[in-house]
Structure formats: structure tokens, C-alpha cells
Amino acid sequence: MTVKAGLLAAVRGFTVAVLSMAVSLAHYILVTVSIALIPIGIGVLTTPVLMQSARAQLNMRRRISDEWFGVEVAVPYRKEPRFQGGVIGQAQRCQWMLRDPATWRDLLWMFIDPSVGFTLGILPLALIGEGVYGFVLAAGVWKPVYDAGGGEWYGFIHVTSQTSAFMAAGLGIVFLATGLRFGPAITRGQALVARALLGPNHERELELRVERLTETRSDALDTSAAELRRIERDLHDGAQARLVAMGMSLGAVERLMERDPERAKLLLAQARESSAMALHELRDLVRGIHPPVLAERGLGDAVRALALRIPIRTEVTVELSGRADAPVEAAAYFAVSETLANAAKHSGAEQIWIDIRHEGGMLRIAVVDDGQGGADLERGTGLRGVERRLGTFDGVLALSSPPGGPTMVTMELPCVLSSPKTSSS
Amino acid sequence: MRVVLAEDLFLLRDGLVRLLEAYDFEIAAAVDNGPELARALTELKPDVAVVDVRLPPSFTDEGLQAALHARRETPGLPVLVLSQHVEQLYAGELLADGSGGVGYLLKDRVFDADQFIDAVRRVAAGGTAMDPQVISQLLARNARDEPLGRLTPREREVLELMAEGRSNAAIAQRLVITERAVTKHTSNIFGKLRLPPSDDDNRRVLAVLAYLNGT
């Protein structure tokens, strides 16, 4: 495993080293020349184009850092405003780019990448290569080298005989082992340096956070406004209408009580039925606003109760030491509810597993079904809505649903648990 | 028959007291919170308790917890639980000890005095009274169950009423058939669901509920 990881790191590091030499250096030279040419006008036109190209390759570098070395690097660029067409627009774009601190940090990175990025990138492969070369010497190659008049220096060993060649092989083992053992750490170090410059600075991080908050806040407002409209409509067409009918029936009963007791009795029965219907509708409405089991027992049992309502076998595992805040609980509940509804409707699953736990300050929920898969966030399956709902609480949703299944929806919500409410028993 | 009543809404508690007294029940205690209910259940040892799930001070499931606790202390203590909503989860918990004397009804059922009093008496006698909504939820959940699918529509009707806890006589009356016919349907149902036959009404109901809860 270590050997495989070491070799992989060596190959990936080498790729990054090539990228840093070929692409970063080239862009750095081109962009600095272009910026230098701004005073005479040409630079105004070329700089945005070259920076655009540089940003594209640096974005690839950010992706590589994440996918290969596990170092997540956020994209720091500001959203491009709308510019006019033609030369004036290009001049505006040039000015806009030069004002973005990310541009200068990019430039600084492209300047040091060919030295720092290259060195750290190539180091694991170099160590492994040097180690292998030690064996090559010991296998007999030392002799022609020596005969040709060159005393070969291998590290601190002057290879002049078979004995010293064996010593070179011994040192080679050290090089090889170091390269394999520490290769992943070295390449990861390279990615960490990259993050320091390619990631957003503190100010930009705050900006990104504000952008996200603005977005999720408007989503939350939209959702709650839509909810209120739905509740208003349900009350208006449901319970309210039933109560009006009841009042009318009772009024008629009052008039008929003496004249026509039989008919009055009939109307009373009707009034009772109306009240039962009104209750029934209110109950459904309440369930949609805040499910009673959630209020009474918390998330775990509410999800268990939910699982009992769907016609698919469902196994629920809950590991929670307390209760989350009511809004978080409700968001998590409705997210699971929507996910389950989705699974019941589209997946064709025979079994569903739900796992709820709290780890490292995160409420983690996984819903897995053995259905046909192929669910897609983009194809309006309701999961987008779930994602937005969770977004209000800084929660995230991930979907894995290859064709043929299984489908796995995982959700994470940052929250703290309070100790469980004391009950009388 | 001595009843302990727990309901926090004054109007409803008052109404229930009057209703039960009108049908010759003796109200041993009428309380409005969880701790008092727990005390009343253990100290007064009533013939039956009528309990609201949600009670002060926590307004969670205090009533249900008190009832479950009392039944652990005094197995078979008859308890009829009332709620604004019914959940299979709670029904399962009430039935889990398999000893009967359990009821779980929506509060709306109080509107029909005769039916409600019948349910209280059934529970007090060690029988069961499950809300029709619990049963329809159970059946919906078992929609893919094969043995259930083999029941005829009439057998299904009998099964639903039986699961609610009604006696053969009551089922016969409701479906306008003879008691003999009900007995025949019942034995068919038990055969198809592969349940051991039993002459005892209460045991039969519990077997059917266990079947529906188990799959």
C-alpha cells in the first residue's frame, strides 16, 4: 500500500512539476510582459486574454490539489461584471482584473511555482530514481564509468570499487524508501503551498461567505413565503370552510329544534362530521408544519415514525446523544422525508437504510436504497429543494446514484446537541 | 369502574369527566400533568386510565411515558391513550409487552360517545382499542405482504375491525352478517396468515396486531 501510494505520489508530483515549469512559467512571462506593455496600449488588450488563460490553468491546478493531494483550494476570483463590447470593454476588463488581489497572488504563485512547486513536485520521483540508480551502479555499471576515467560520486560515496558500489546500493535503499515513504507528504506540502497563494485571502473568504449567505437567505425567504402561502390556502379551503359549514348547520338546528326535531338531528350529525373533517385537515396541516413526533421525541423517533409510514422496508439507525435546535431538527427531518418520498416514488427499491449520527460537530444523515439508481440533482427530483433547505443552515447534500443503483444521499449539518429533555419516567 | 383521567385542556377534561360519569364510571382522579398522572397511576391503581399523550410540563410525550412506565410496574394495567395524532411508532410501543388492555385513539373518537365508552370498557376488560387510522396505516405499510394480498375484500374488512379490537359480535353487527359468518372469515384469515387459531377474542387481536407490526 505504501509502495503504491509512494509511486502514485511520484507520478503525480512529476506531472505537477511539468505543469509548473511549462505552464506557470510561460504564463508568468507572458503576463508580466503584457502588463509591462500596458502603457503603450497593447497590454490593455492582451492582458485580460492571457490572465484568462492563466486562470483556467490555475483552476486546473486547484482541482488537482483537491483530487490528487486532498488539499481543497477555493476559487478566489470575483464574479465578472458585464462589460461593453469592443476595445472599451476590454480596457474595463483589464482594469477590473488588475484591481482583483487574486490576480497579483496568481502572479506571485506563477513566479515561485517553477522553483518551489517544481522542486517539491519532482522530489519524490528524483529520490526513487536516484535509489534505483544506486542498484544500477552496484549491478556493475560502476566499472565502465570508473574505467572511462570518471570516479562517480553517489551521494557522499565515491564509487571506485565493487565494495563502494554496494555501499551506493545501500544508500540507494535509503533514497528509495524515503521517496516512497514521504512522497505523498512532500507532494501534499506542495499543494499546501499552492493553497496559501491560490486560495482566497481572508478578505475574499469573507466576501465569498457573504455571497453564500445572501444566496441562502433569499432561498430561505422564498421557501418560507411559499410555505406560508400554502398554509394559508389549506386553512382557507379546509378548516375555515368546514367551520363555516358547521356554524350554518348549527344555526339551522337552532331554528328547527322545535319544529322538526328529526331534521335537526340530521343536521347535528352533519355538523359533527364537519368538525371531524376539519380536525383531520388540521392534523395533516400540522404534520406538514412541524410533525408532532418531532416535537415530542426528537429527530430519531420522528424519522422512525416516518419510516413506518412508507411501504418499503426501512432500517433506521440513530446515534444521537441529545437533541439539536428545533430549526435544525426540522430541516433535517424534512430533508429525510423528501429523500424518502423520492426513493419511494422513483427508485423501485425494496429496502432502505437510514443512518443518523452526530460526529465532529456535524449531524450526518445517510439514506441508502437498493433501487435502480440514476437519480440526478439536475433533473428536478426534489433533492435540489432539500439542498437549498439545508443550505440555510450551512448544510450540504451529496448524491451518489450510478445507473443500476444503489442510490446514496448523504447530508451534513453543522450543529450542537443539547442534553435530552427530561421526561417524567 | 374507577377511572384515572389525564388531559391538560380544561374543556376536554371537563367534557370527558361528564361523559364518563354519565356512563356510570367513577372518576378516581382527573389530572392535568405528567408527574401527577404517574402518581395517580401507581397509588390509585384504577380499573382503567384515559391518558393524553402530550402533557405538561414538557409538552412532549409525558402522558405516553407515564402510561408505559406504569404498565411496566403493573403489567396489564389498562390504559387508553388519546392523541391529536396517531403514530404507528407509539402503537407499537404500547403493544410491545403483548399483554393487552391497551387502547390508542384519536381524540376525535370522543365525539361518538357510545363508541368511545365501548372502547374504554373493552380496554378495561383487557381487550384492545386501536384507532382505525392506525390499522389503515399498518395495512398500507404491509401493502406488499403476500399472505395479506390473498385475503378477500370481506376478509380484509373483518381483519380491519378485528385489529381495531372489536369482538365477533360487534363485527357481525357492523358488517350486517351473522356471527357464524364472522367466525368463518376469522378462521380463513388465520389460515391464510398462518397464525395459530385461538378462541380467545383478545389473544386473537394481539396476534393479528403482532403480525401487522412484525412485517
At residue A381, the pLDDT reads: 65
Q: How far apart are CA B126 and CA B108, in angstroms?
A: 23
In this predicted model, what pLDDT tens digit does every residue of A382-404 receive, in sequence order? 788 888 889 889 899 999 888 88
Query: Quick one: pLDDT band at residue A181, thresholds 50, 70, 90?
Result: confident
Q: Do A424 and B61 touch (CB under 8 A)?
A: no
Q: What percent of chain B shows pLDDT beyond 70?
A: 100
- The set of long-range contacts for A295-298, using a CB threshold of 8 Å and a minimum separation of 24, is A295/B59, A295/B60, A296/B53, A296/B54, A296/B60, A296/B61, A297/B60, A297/B61, A298/A323, A298/A329, A298/A420
DSSP bridge pairs for A32: none
Q: Do B65 and A424 touch (CB under 8 A)?
A: yes
Of A194, A184, A131, A185, which is closest to residue A11 (Cα–Cα)?
A: A184
Q: How far apart are CA B31 and CA B8, in angstroms?
A: 7
Q: Do A292 and B87 touch (CB under 8 A)?
A: yes
Q: What is the ipTM of this complex?
A: 0.84
At residue A1, the pLDDT reads: 59
- In terms of pLDDT, which residue wins out, A257 or A145? A257
Q: What percent of chain A shows pLDDT beyond 90?
A: 15
In chain B, the residue whose alpha carbon lies closest to the alpha carbon of A298 is: B60
The string of DSSP letters for B156-197 reads HHHHHHHHHT--HHHHHHHHT--HHHHHHHHHHHHHHTT---
Q: How far apart are CA A330 and CA A303, in angstroms?
A: 11
At residue B40, the pLDDT reads: 93
Residue B66 predicted with pLDDT over 90: yes
Among the listed ranges A158-162, A343-347, A365-369, B27-31, which one has the minimum average pLDDT value?
A158-162
What is the CB-side half-sphere exposure of residue A257 using CA atoms within 13 A?
5
Whose grid coordinates read 396476534? B207
The three grid cell numbers given for residue A201, joined into one nine-digit string? 485571502
Is A135 in contact with A169 (CB distance < 8 Å)?
yes
What residues of chain B, 129 to 168, have a C-beta less than 8 Å from chain A?
137, 140-144
Give the pLDDT mean for A15-31.
85
Residue A151 predicted with pLDDT over 80: no
Contacts of B127 (CB under 8 A, 6+ apart): B100, B101, B165, B167, B201, B202, B205
Q: Do B85 and A283 touch (CB under 8 A)?
A: yes
Is B2 in contact with B28 (CB distance < 8 Å)?
yes
The rounded mean pLDDT for chain A is 86
At residue B17, the pLDDT reads: 95
Q: Are strands B48-52 and B79-83 parallel, antiparallel or unpaired?
A: parallel
CATH number for domain A293-414, candidates 3.40.640.10, 3.30.565.10, 3.20.20.370, 3.40.50.300? 3.30.565.10
Out of A135-149, A181-195, B164-178, give the one with best mean pLDDT.
Answer: B164-178
Please, what are the domains in chain B? 2-130 (3.40.50.2300), 135-214 (1.10.10.10)
Q: Where are the alpha helices (DSSP H) in B3-131?
A: 10-22, 34-44, 62-73, 88-95, 113-124
- In terms of pLDDT, which residue wins out, B31 or A272? B31
At residue A422, the pLDDT reads: 46
Residue B20 predicted with pLDDT over 90: yes
Domain ranges of chain A: 2-198, 207-289, 293-414
Q: Do B141 and A310 touch (CB under 8 A)?
A: yes
Query: Quick one: pLDDT band at residue A380, thresholds 50, 70, 90?
Result: low
Q: Cβ atoms within 10 A of the Cβ of A263, count?
A: 13
Q: How far apart are CA B78 and CA B16, in angstroms?
A: 17
In chain A, the residue whose alpha carbon lies closest to the alpha carbon of B67 is: A425
Q: Are strands A362-369 and A351-359 parallel, antiparallel or unpaired?
A: antiparallel
Q: How far apart are CA A135 and CA B122, in angstroms?
A: 91
In this predicted model, what pLDDT tens digit does every residue of A325-336 receive, in sequence order? 988 999 999 999
Q: How many CB pairs under 8 A join A and B?
A: 71
Q: How far apart are CA A129 and CA A215, in angstroms?
A: 51
Q: Among A272, A286, A424, whose Cβ lies nearest the Cβ of B38?
A: A424
* pTM: predicted TM-score of the whole model, two decimal places: 0.72
Of B189, B183, B155, which is closest to residue B169 (Cα–Cα)?
A: B183
Helix axes B132-141, B153-164, angle to 10 degrees: 130
Give the pLDDT mean for A179-186.
86
Contacts of B85 in chain A (CB under 8 A): 283, 286-287, 292
Phi, psi (deg, nearest 5) at residue A150: -100, 120
At residue A318, the pLDDT reads: 94
